[in-house]
Amino acid sequence: MPGHLRDHLTEGRHIPGIFELNPNMSVGETIEELLLIWAASYLDEYRDKIIYLPLS
């Protein structure tokens, strides 16, 4: 995915952000993490980035 994103950005395109989920996290943990990100983030904070969960 990072290679595809790099190519995409090189072409002058953008993405709102990609969150890669951790298969070792439970569904509840994943939901809590995503809700925290949603509640505490700025509109374009994750633009053009790949974020791997968990954040901490």
pLDDT of residue 34: 95
Q: What is the pLDDT of residues 10-56, one digit of tens each?
A: 999 999 999 999 999 999 999 999 999 999 999 999 999 999 999 87
pTM above 0.95, yes or no: no
**Residues contacting 1, CB < 8 A, separation 6+:** 18, 20, 50
Query: Residue 54: which region, alpha, beta or left (left: phi > 0; alpha: psi -120 to 50)?
Result: beta
Q: Where are the domains of the chain?
A: 2-52
CA 31 to chain centre: 13
pLDDT of residue 13: 93
